[in-house]
Structure 1
Amino acid sequence: MEGCQRMWGSPNCSSSSCKSTGDKDLEEWKEAARQLEMSNPTKDDHDHTVFRCIKLSYDYLKHEDAKRCFLNCCLFPEDTNINIEDLVKYGIGQGLFQNANTVEEARAAASSLLKHLKACSLLLNGDQEGCVKMHDVVRDTAISIASAGDELAFLVHSGAALKKWPRRDSYEAYTAISLMSNEIQELPDGLVCPKLQTLLLQNNIDIREIPDAFFERMESLRVLDVNGADISSLPSSLGLLLNLRTLCLDGCESTDLSILGELRKLEILSLRESCIEELPEEIGKLVSLRMLDLTMSGDLKTIRSNLLSSLSQLEEIYLQGSFGDWGKPIEGKDQETNAGFDELTRLPCLNTLKVDIPDAGCIPQTVVSNPNWVKFNICMSEDLFVRLMDVHLSKIMAARSRALILNTTINTLPDWFNSVVTEKTEKLFYMIDSDLHDIISEYDQGRLNGLKSLLVESCYGIVQLMNTDIRVSNRPVFDNLEELRVHNMDSLKVICIGELPPGSLRKLKFFQVEQCDKLVGPLLQPNLLQRLENLEVLDVSGNSLEDIFRSEGLGKEQILLRKLKEMKLDKLPHLKNIWNGPAQLAVFNKLKILTVIACKKLRNLFVITVSRCLLQLEELWIEDCGGLEVIIGEDEGEASSSNMSHNSRVKEIVEKQKEEAMEKNILPQLKNLSLQNLPLLTGFYPGFASIQCPSLEQLHVQDCPLFRASTAEFHSRKQVQVNNEQHFLLLQKRLWEIRQFS
């Protein structure tokens, strides 16, 4: 083994080969080391050594599917994010994942293989969710392996800025050709490619036409991707691809897709953002079709009755931002109607669907048998904006496997639908004008025990978000909810009325309240505050609250907000107190980030008693708070004493606070402090600005004319940078990340 390490000149090489063979027994490992040592590379041929290392890792991969997935990654441009879903589609088309019975099982198999390839250092994590990357050196090696194999021969010029098709004496040996992400304008009239199985031409936006005979001699083709090409019509030779399994025509401008009916072995058909107005009846001939994707095909208005139900092998259908006229008459066709929503319930293999429906009237009251929909995203809305928003959210919420958007209440939905969909929903969005009055009654009606994320938006009938006074059951509510968002609720006045049963909201981590103008008083009163034991992020903006937390009535032995890490308060013009009431033991002791913007009536953020708990605070951003005089104010008892003159009392408070400040680091972890447009701010404490922040690194002060503290007065052990613009912009960018859906 030591000899093997001597041969590997590169740490990456060593890591790659060692990890790759790590799941072999010792004898196989010794054989791998022996083979590498036999090559006896020197420093002069380091590149060859690297190649040998990567090649050895490749050779010792257990599964052929892992090798094919690895080689498929080299078909993509250098240093690009490789979409895992593309690898799944290509793999299915190439006949990989034979032990997977469904497309979803194929995804799981691909995920496992890719995880192993990353563990072997043959692949890297992508910069985006759902992606992987391949190091340039590894990619070059993979191309070399794939170009010299007996069974495989790749032609790869992806992302090479090609304007013309690459000329070769012969294309007969190639099994895969990738010319994706180039500037090719014309395709050859015809190619003799009897062994070609994979052809990737996507992202050549200048391709306007495919010659009619282009596919005539590609009889073995199994995977074809021409996404992004503005093709106005499909060539007749496409119908000759009788072995084609995966076809990607995203963005296709052709309105006549009838020729696709010839592709009887097709399993994956992607027509995202296509221009078709009607799904051709010939699609019904695709008896092997397992996935149909028509996302964002906004012109699609017609799917004839019984077309979808003829796709007996269909496992996944995607129609978001696309067809939604279920069961409606076809325009210009007497006595003909579109496919009804009930056709989806009759597809025996369907397990995944993402669809739009205008209202509950499209859903049949009864079904022959309950469908087994494992993953779903159903948007019930007539509003095109809501439907398009749903498509966007689907892209950024990878884990959103069971989502439902409703423009009605649960009691209007058929029982079978509530059993199959509502009760299994993990993410529920309400967008109802007036019919919804209380979300607790919805919880009980829909048996939403598995709900993890809830958005309530523009529900103008809600005055009280939760009301337990009218509830009979004393069982916990929303006990698995992790995320609660309340947006644009013009009638909402209070979050919770009555006592929530113990265990309610026990898993809530994220709470956001936006643009609820009539929401007054405290946001979190004791009846709600004591249930939020796992709250980590609080984001409040655009309402009329006077207090964020009110703790009166709670016992001093109760420990609240023990996990709160981040709090953002924005555009709260009537806010007077963040915390109102006796300070609880260890309150805010995990808070790391605090942002306060446009809270013009705040005179201070916390009193001294509360501020002593801010031991983990790392980032403090205060902006446009015109009434803020100090960051940490006096405790009420100290401020209201009537037994001594004002001047002597102030002097005593100042001396006492100075003494306390010297005894203890008030904000020991504070790294970033930003103060902007605070015209009345004089310092941290009344009468003096000094505070101990031994970890302070960045100080931003702008338009704070009365704030005179120097960096030395913060007593930092580090070199404090003042008004670093680059760092300020980074903080500003991070400031708005909390707004995004998780």
Structure 2
Amino acid sequence: MRNLNNRLSSTSSSRKPFSLIIWVTVSKTTSSQELGLKNLQKKIANWLNLKEEETVERTAIQLSKRLRREKFLLILDDVWEAINLDLVGIPRPEHHLGSKIILTSRSLDVCRTMMTDVEVKVEVLTDEEAWELFKDHVGEVADLQSIKPLAGTVCKECGKLPLALITVGSAMRRKMRVSLWEDAINELRMSRPSIPGIEPNLYSSLKLSYVSLQNEKLKSCFLYCCLYPEDYSILISELVECWWAEGLIGEKLTYHDALNRGIALIESLKDSCLLETGDSDNSIKMHDVVRDVAIWIATCAGPESKFLVRVNIGMTEISEVELQSNLERVSFMKNSIEALSDQEIECPKVISVFLQCNSFLHNIPENFLRGFRAVKVMNLGGTQIRSLPISLLHLQDLRALLLRGCNHLEELPPLGSLTKLNILDLHDTSIKHLPEGMDQLTNLRKLDLSYTLNLEFVRAETVSNLTSLEFLDMTGSSYRWLVKQRPPLLYFEIHLQEAHTEQRATLEDLRSLQRLSVLHLSLYDSVKAFEECDVYWIERLKTFRCSMGLTYSPRDIQRLTKYSEKALMQRDLSGDSIEWFICHAASLAFDNCCNLHEILENLVINRVECFTNTKILTLKDAMLNEGSNTQFDLLPNLEELYLDNIGKIKSISVLADRLGLSFPRLETLVVTGCHELENLFYLGVRITSLPKLSKIKVDTCAHLKELFRHVPGSAKEHAVVPKLRAARLSGLPRLQCLCRREESWQSLEELEVVRCPSLKKLPFRTMNGNSIKEIRGDTHWWSEVHWDTDDVKSFLDRHFKEMLDLKASLRR
């Protein structure tokens, strides 16, 4: 379904079978039918940019009016109960010709009740397929004489379900002890979760993967993920910080090492098929069924329930009855809680409390927190609280206080008594100054003050006393970093300085933080401050990000309208220290710089050193005019190059000549929307080959005729792209040639060709055919490709995967 959605969405407007494509994940979120309808209506209304009405009926009228003007495709994913389309406001396809509705569900009864026209059941595997899939994950041990009969029994207990086979197979991978296999069989047969239907079999399989995890802490890390809602992408950094604060990851590790350790644990859980990549590379998800199993383990499978998970169910208040004294973790995340009890509720064992994303919560009563004496992680992010109660200070074991996105929060109580606090997240809050007692938080490891748009004052004493601080993020904060003032020379200067007892924190105070390894800053009119102080202490940091050169603060920029473009253009990149920053950057991005050619010209003329640290270069929305060329490589270690909507350039070699680039280490090349580009590179003078290039993506370049053009008379003994493994080409109507005839592309494994009708020849011969794993494209295009021999065509036909004509398929 995602494939269908993505392909239809990327189809050119002239070929789209639908004027509107809507994807809605329905999920099992509420027990109330009305709340379920409102939730579904809200999601569809968001797609249509419509305002949700006060009642279900009025919203249905608005949705119906809008959808009747469109030829739409509505994809309803993960439907658990039958949906009354009329109540939602969705026109029925039989009355609105040309539109279609597709749904996925784990229940055939849902399909029957909704009167679907066609049902496609995903069958379990055959015995042979199940065994092969199981062996793929178990490894060669499955064929050992002593193990094979037992492995066959374990495979059979998985019920031929792919998820169960993969999960159990991964858990048993390379285990050679007979006793382990016999125990696995017993576990699969003895588990009896009280859930009807197929779920008990699946649960028992998944529980085995959980039982097979290396240690109790890794099991706790896995179960921790079920505190988040279904279909929720969990930020890896946030999850790892919670693990670290709870002590699931070594408390003595540095922040950097703890993050690396957490990522390693996540990869272990991914390898066991218990976690999967989320909506982005820096997030993870739990499969719906896996999450259900985790909740079942944490709340039902043991002698006593230790978790209370009530997330995303539309609850408006917390039941005091459910808050039992034996609980260890509670989550009320993403609800509609309006008020908390002012009674002290005894939960002496609770160590994590999730109340984030309750956007109607305005107040934390004084007595509510008194019963949570052992809490280590308190997440109140995304609420509307304006202050915190004094009872917070009684949480002596608190390690992580997460207030991210509490944009109404203006002040905090004195935090000096929270001496064990490791993480304080105040991102996007409205605080004007740091709370009293901050200088006593000598164990604080991470302080996030990013986008604190009202932050005006930070005491120098506070900063210098945070001796354990390793991570400081002040991206987009309004606080102005200055340098220490010179010693007063005149009497009135001394008098004024004595009168001002509270000293502002300066850049020199940051230098005193010996454990600081990650620093994110925004510098506005104080860019020149770095010209007046020693910046070279920054070299000891592992990560340093600095946005600089804007004349205005974030608050000023918010108020700018017609002058905003001018303000953003007034960037000051002059000065030795600013040059030092650029020289030490691992990644450089020039986005929407109308004077990019001037910046490059300045680099070429004035630079005497190369940017040896820069590995990623991004140029976006700019013009490249003619100018001076340098004779030496300014970017000798460049690994990734991204060009997006760059005008006045017919070949990347123009950029290469200007900056002296030879690309000896380039691994990834992505080019998008460069409509004047005629070839990627012309080869034979400065560049003869791209020895490490492994990935190419070229999209929507209207005039591109060939990827590589060879200068007449140039040497031909070098393979241009000997390491190229994957190439994705789309929207290149004039592309005729990938490379010269002699080039074989011997390492290519994957090729995708979309909307490249003029490409009739591919660089494949018998010598390099064995490396090809998959070629994707339109069947009509594939049928018109010319081959040197029928043997090559016959061989590659086996690796061709059709990219379906979706319009024709849906019409059928």
Q: Secondary structure at the match of 1:454?
A: strand
Match of 1:495 in 2: 654
Q: Pick the aligned partner of 1:182 from 323, 331, 335.
A: 335
In the TM superposition, residue 380 of structure 1 has moved relative to its aligned partner by 1.8
Whole-angstrom CA distance in 1 between matches of 2:434 and 2:551 = 23
Letter matched to residue 669 of structure 2:
F
Secondary structure of residue in 2 paired with 1:259: coil
Q: Give 1:356 deviation, angstroms.
A: 1.3
Among 204, 213, 218, which residue is 1:66 paired with? 218
Q: CA deviation at 1:348?
A: 1.2
Using the alignment, how far apart are the partners of 2:212 and 2:706 within structure 1?
63
Query: What is the letter of the counterpart of residue 198 of structure 1?
Result: S
* Superposed counterparts of 1:446-465, under 5 Å: 447-456=610-619, 463-464=625-626
The residue that corresponds to 1:199 in the other structure is 353
* 1:123 corresponds to: 275
Equivalent residues in 2 for 1:591-610, closer than 5 Å: 592-593=752-753
CA distance in 1, matches of 2:197, 2:423: 45
Pick from 505, 513, 520: which aligns with 1:347?
A: 513
Cα 1:95–1:254, aligned 2, differ >3 Å: closer, same or farther?
same
Structure 2 residue 539 is the aligned partner of structure 1 residue 361: no
Aligned to 1:171, the other structure's residue is in SS state: coil
1:9 aligns with 2:9: no
Question: Residue in 2 aligned with 1:425?
Answer: 586
CA distance in 1, matches of 2:599, 2:804: 55
Among 601, 605, 613, which residue is 2:761 paired with?
613
Whether the 8 Å CA contact 1:10–1:50 is kept in 2: the answer is no
CA distance in 2, matches of 1:137, 1:691: 42
Q: Is 1:692 the counterpart of 2:788 in the alignment?
A: no
The answer for the alignment partner of 2:6 in structure 1 is: none
- Residue 215, structure 1, aligned to residue 376, structure 2: no
Change in Cα spacing, 1:21 to 1:204, as seen in structure 2 (3 Å) is same
Q: Report the counterpart of residue 662 of structure 1 in structure 2.
A: none
Shift of 1:317: 1.3
Are the equivalent residues in 2 in contact too, given 1:238–1:259 (CA < 8 A)? Answer: no
The aligned residue for residue 170 of structure 2 is: 19
Q: Is 1:107 paired with 2:259?
A: yes
1:520–1:528 distance in 2 versus 1, CA, 3 Å = farther
Alignment CA distance shift 1:352-1:387 (3 Å): farther
1:256 aligns with 2:419: no
1:318 aligned to 473, 476, 485, which one?
473
**Alpha-carbon separation, structure 1, partners of 2:204 and 2:656:** 69
User: 1:246-325 residue pairs with structure 2 within 5 A?
Assistant: 246-252=400-406, 253-323=408-478, 325=480
Letter in 2 for 1:39: M
Alignment of 1:485-564 (within 5 A): 485=643, 495-496=654-655, 503-507=662-666, 509-510=668-669, 512=671, 524-526=681-683, 527=685, 530-532=688-690, 534=693, 537=696, 551-555=710-714, 557=716, 563=724
Any idea what SS the aligned residue of 1:93 has?
A: helix
1:167 Cα offset (Å): 3.8
* Contact 1:379/1:406 (8 A) holds in 2: no
Q: Is the alpha carbon distance of 1:259 and 1:10 closer, same or farther for their aligned partners in structure 2, counting shifts above 3 Å? A: farther
CA distance in 1, matches of 2:606, 2:236: 37
SS of equivalent residue, structure 1 residue 108: helix
User: 2:741·2:763 contact (CA, 8 Å) conserved in 1?
Assistant: no
Match for 1:182: what amino acid?
Answer: N
Counterpart in the other structure of 1:733? none
* Structure-2 separation of matches of 1:15 and 1:522: 45
Whole-angstrom CA distance in 1 between matches of 2:187 and 2:680: 67
Structure 1 stretch 106-115 or stretch 554-563: which is displaced more?
554-563
Instruction: Note if contact 2:433-2:456 (Cα within 8 Å) is conserved in structure 1.
Output: yes
Describe the SS at the equivalent of 2:349. Answer: coil
Q: Provide Cα deviations, 1:498-524, integer angstroms capped at 9, x if missing partner.
A: 6987954551632548789xx999885
TM-aligned CA deviation for residue 198 of structure 1: 0.8
Separation in 1, partners of 2:810, 2:504: 56
CA distance 1:155–1:555, shift in 2 (3 Å): same
Deviation at 1:55, TM superposition (A): 3.5
Deviation at 1:100, TM superposition (A): 5.8
Larger mean CA deviation between 521-530 and 57-66 belongs to: 521-530
Alpha-carbon deviation of 1:489? 7.9
- Indicate whether 1:29 and 2:164 are aligned: no
In the TM superposition, what is the alpha-carbon distance from 1:155 to its structure 2 partner? 1.0
Q: Name the aligned partner's letter for residue 528 of structure 2.
A: G
Q: State the SS of the aligned residue for 1:269.
A: strand
Unaligned runs of 5+ in 2: 1-149, 486-496, 558-568, 765-774, 788-799
Q: Provide the C-alpha distance between the structure 2 equivalents of 1:314 and 1:406, rounded to a whole number of angstroms.
A: 34
Using the alignment, how far apart are the partners of 1:406 and 1:80 within structure 2?
Answer: 40
Q: Which amino acid aligns with 2:224?
A: N
Separation in structure 1 between the aligned mates of residue 649 and residue 159 of structure 2, nearest angstrom: 69
| 2-structure distance, mates of 1:718, 1:37 | 38
Higher helix share: 2
Cα 1:491–1:538 change in 2 (3 A) is: closer
1:118 to partner: Cα distance = 2.6
Q: Mean alpha-carbon deviation: is it higher for 172-181 or for 282-291?
A: 282-291
Matched, 1:437 2:590: no
C-alpha RMSD of the superposition = 5.0
Q: TM-score normalised to the size of structure 1?
A: 0.67
Kindly indicate whether residue 327 of structure 2 is the aligned counterpart of residue 166 of structure 1.
Answer: no
Deviation at 1:538, TM superposition (A): 6.7
Deviation, 1:129, is 2.1
How many Å separate the matches in 1 of 2:260 and 2:656? 45
Q: Rate the CA distance shift 1:71–1:509 in 2: closer, same or farther, 3 A.
A: closer
Q: Deviations over 1:171-228 (max 9, x none)?
A: 2221111111111111111322111111101111111111122111211111111111
Q: Is the 8 A contact 2:587 2:614 kept in 1?
A: yes
Deviation at 1:302, TM superposition (A): 2.6
Distance across 2 between alignment mates of 1:127 and 1:198: 25
Q: Quote the offset at 1:560 in angstroms.
A: 5.1
Partner Cα distance (1:453, 1:271) in 2: 30
Q: Pick from 143, 146, 158 the counterpart of residue 295 of structure 2.
A: 143
Partner secondary structure for residue 161 of structure 1: coil
The alpha-carbon distance between structure 1 residues 328 and 438, as it changes in their structure 2 partners (threshold 3 A), is: closer
Partner SS, residue 437 of structure 2: helix
Match of 1:654 in 2: none
Q: Is the 8 A contact 2:466 2:513 kept in 1?
A: yes
Q: Residue 46 of structure 2 aligns with which residue?
A: none
Q: Deviations over 1:691-722 (max 9, x none)?
A: 83599xxxxxxxxxxxxxxxxxxxxx999987
Aligned with 2:371: secondary structure?
Answer: coil
| SS of the residue 2:520 aligns to | strand
Any conservation in 2 of the 1:466–1:496 contact (CA below 8 Å)? no
**Counterpart Cα distance in 1 of 2:783 and 2:348:** 77
Give structure 1 stretches of 5+ with no counterpart: 390-404, 572-576, 597-604, 617-667, 675-689, 696-716, 729-742
**For 2:469 and 2:191, how far apart are their aligned partners in 1?**
54
Report the more deviating stretch, 186-195 or 291-300: 291-300
- SS of structure 2 residue aligned to 1:317: strand
**One-letter code of the match for 1:32?**
D
Residue type of the alignment partner of 2:184? A
Q: AA paired with 1:289?
A: L
The one-letter amino acid paired with 2:508 is D
1:213–1:236 CA contact under 8 A, matched in 2: no
SS at match of 1:96: coil
| 3-state SS in 2 of match to 1:413 | helix
Quote the sequence identity (%). Answer: 23
Task: Give the TM-score normalised by structure 2.
Answer: 0.62
Alpha-carbon separation, structure 2, partners of 1:520 and 1:720:
27
Aligned to 1:402: none
1:132 and 1:15 mapped to 2: Cα distance? 19
Aligned to 2:638: 480
In structure 2, the partner of 1:671 is 778
